[in-house]
């Protein structure tokens, strides 16, 4: 899975492409080595970034402070760090990409 990389024992790098201003928050699938995620929030004043982190945290079942954007604050392509998640992250992401 190109979109997911284990950096440390409990920190993962998640590569995401965001589509802000969508009808609903959802994982659309994998495209060009990144998870494509639609977010309802507009790309204004960091609203889409906050909504993305919240959506990913809910999808993975972690607290929102365990998900943060490492790179790409002003881009549709973002690198997120997710901490404190065991190897079951693969199952949660696999389920999310199939919904």
Task: Specify which residues 36 forms β-bridges with.
Answer: 17, 29
Secondary structure letter of residue 1 according to DSSP: -
The neighbour count for residue 60, using CB atoms within 10 Å, is 21
Q: Which sequence spans correspond to the domains of the chain?
A: 4-98
Give the per-residue pLDDT at 87: 65
Give the per-residue pLDDT at 8: 82
The whole-model pTM stands at 0.87
Give the per-residue pLDDT at 6: 86
Top-tier CATH class for 4-98 = alpha beta
Written as tens digits, the pLDDT of the chain (99 aa) is 789 888 887 889 999 999 999 999 999 999 999 999 999 999 999 999 999 999 999 988 889 999 999 999 999 999 999 998 766 665 666 666 544
Parallel, antiparallel or unpaired: strands 34-39 and 11-20: parallel
């Amino acid at each position: 899975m190109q979109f997911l990389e284990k950096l440390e024992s409990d920190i993962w790098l998640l590569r995401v492409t965001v589509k802000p201003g969508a009808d609903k928050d959802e994982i659309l699938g994998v495209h060009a080595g990144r998870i494509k995620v639609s977010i309802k929030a507009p790309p204004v004043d960091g609203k889409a970034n906050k909504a993305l982190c919240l959506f990913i945290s809910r999808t993975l079942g972690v607290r929102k402070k365990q998900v943060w954007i490492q790179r790409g604050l002003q881009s549709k392509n973002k690198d997120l760090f997710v901490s404190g998640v065991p190897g079951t992250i693969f199952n949660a992401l696999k389920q999310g990409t199939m919904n």
